[in-house]
Structure 1
Amino acid sequence: MSKLFTPVQIGRYELSNRLVMAPMTRSRASDADGVPFDEVATYYEQRSGAGLIISEGVYPSASGKGYVSTPGIETEAQIAAWKKVTHAVHARGSRIFMQVMHCGRISHPSMQPGNALPVAPSAIKPAGQTWTATGQQDFVTPHELTVAEIKGVVESYRLATRRAIEAGFDGVELHAASGYLPEQFLASGSNRRTDEYGGPIGNRIRFVLEVLQAMVAEAGGGRVGIKISPEMNFNDILDENPQALYWELVEQLNLFDLAYLQMTRQGTPEIDYHALLRSRFKGTYLMGAGLDQAKAETALEAGKADAAVFGELFLANPDLPDRFQRGAPLNTPDRSTYYGGDAKGYVDYPVLQATEAA
């Protein structure tokens, strides 16, 4: 039997297989209040053949929103909507973690409470644009967080963790990749602070460690994971010494007895960060980005990862595990429907049973 279809322990849970559905922003929430649409429950239920589903990025507080029509976990209405999702997934026998995503400076005043500036560790404007209700807008120079405000953001992660567990999620994942707020603190190019949160690596990793400490205090280490993406350099993120940065960060992650470390796309082919960091982390290691069935099986058999994370393949193939087991052809994803819209390209991808019946 392929190792993909053997059980694996992730934190406090034994998963039925090693296929993990990646967190993928789909922008199917009310832009006015961050409440997921009813189709969101169907979307995740359809993909419950995965041993573990990691939800799309969910903002912990309104100031963490960075894209139009993305969901939150701050209000009672949001919690109620997510309860429908977790109930649907659990009814199919799968597990689901919520990815908590604070976008920091990767936002725009039009999406912030009171049209305020987005927040960041330093007042450095990122290059690029973000999607707003009126189309693409240039990023702005963000507000540099005070130490007191940083403590407030850490608290928002703690409360988001509490609300996610209340909504029925099996755990939470800290999104510390893709140039969002945690990585903004990590990277020397976006963090020019001179206090305890800036300067040497030990200071720049402090924010991530404090957030993890808060999340673990609410849920326990066995229900908290983290995602990183060294040198992906997405959203104008750069660091002067990324190997040293992530070497130290991953060593410190071991303090929390986390459910897993998800290491996704890296931007420098000359450095194999999986090889560099996999042995450094003492818990369950999830490998993602660019995998197909053959690559995933090879990595698992070689001990390079404990589970494999699939994104676009799960997006277009709700029954991906079944297709892998049967050697069936895969659906082609429709990129024009990735973000926003209705059921088209979201919950209407065909599954094998329906295809065979037709």
Structure 2
Amino acid sequence: MVRTGSVRVPVGPTLAVVAREAGVSVPTASKVVNGREDVAPETRRRVTEALDRLGYVRRPRFDTAKTPGLVDLVVHSLESPWSGAVLHGVEAAAYEAGLEVVVSTGLPRPRSGRPERGWLDKLTARGSSGVLFNLAELSPSQYAWLDHHRIPYVLIDPAHEPPAGVASVGAANWQGGVSATEHLLGLGHRRIAVIAGHRRSMCGSDRVAGYRSALASAGVRHPADYMRYAGFDVSAARLRTHELLDLPEPPTAVFVCSDRMALGVYEALAERELRVPGDVSVVGFDDLPEARWAAPALTTVRQPLGEMAATALRLLVRLMHGEHPESTRTELSTRLMVRASTAEPPGERPAA
């Protein structure tokens, strides 16, 4: 080992040795090491095997002597309040850490068995030291590509359960589902429906599990007809609400697993000339600005999006420095924000 300052750098084979072992030119071996996609699959395989066989040590992505560093933030869209809150949290934490942030909208999905060429090429070309993915659904090949090139990354509120060892930051969704349902139970509601997001999304499943747990603890039956999925879509939530209202015994309250879907619920209730909360109480989840702007203001579960993003950035910096946190999953507390969209069930409300 050779000591340079406080960093121990292992001595290993040069890129020329790797290239000779794989039977390719040094520039070709360099393309593989640096994540370039203009290499034939068979050539890439030979070089990769030679790298692993010889124990070639790739240059660390993050150099603490260079300030500021560069990190990527990948979001679905810059137009949503959700992404705005995440970006604000990342920017504030990045400023404190002396880092610059490059924002990308959407992660291309690979059609073949390897990562999309354009986005990953740009990532390595600009020398990003790490990546934050918000609500991303990475493919196995994209996980493998990031791990192979030793690019640190953290998931913010991942859509699905990440592979073992992958760092992620989210909210206590199960507890949020419990608090929303307990609030409605405390008001006297017993016919409580739920409109969830995607069937297999991690956050949505946890929120529904919290809802069911709260009902079970209160000894309240959960009819199968009261469970609806709307894919976090406003229009779908509106249609699911009409389906609930058409039931022989419609709910007196609805727990909606996102604020945006709650707006669709409001719309359906207005179309039926039903009042919130006079006829139906509504609880959302997220506490986006829309929750406060809605009429009436929406009771909702607040998840600290900005704090989640800042925590993910700080965790990414630790990974960039070569640290290995004891836990790869971080959950931040949620909090019920009681506003004007919930009240006692209609039959239990005293006369004016």
TM-score, structure 2 as length reference: 0.25
Q: Which has the larger radius of gyration?
A: 2
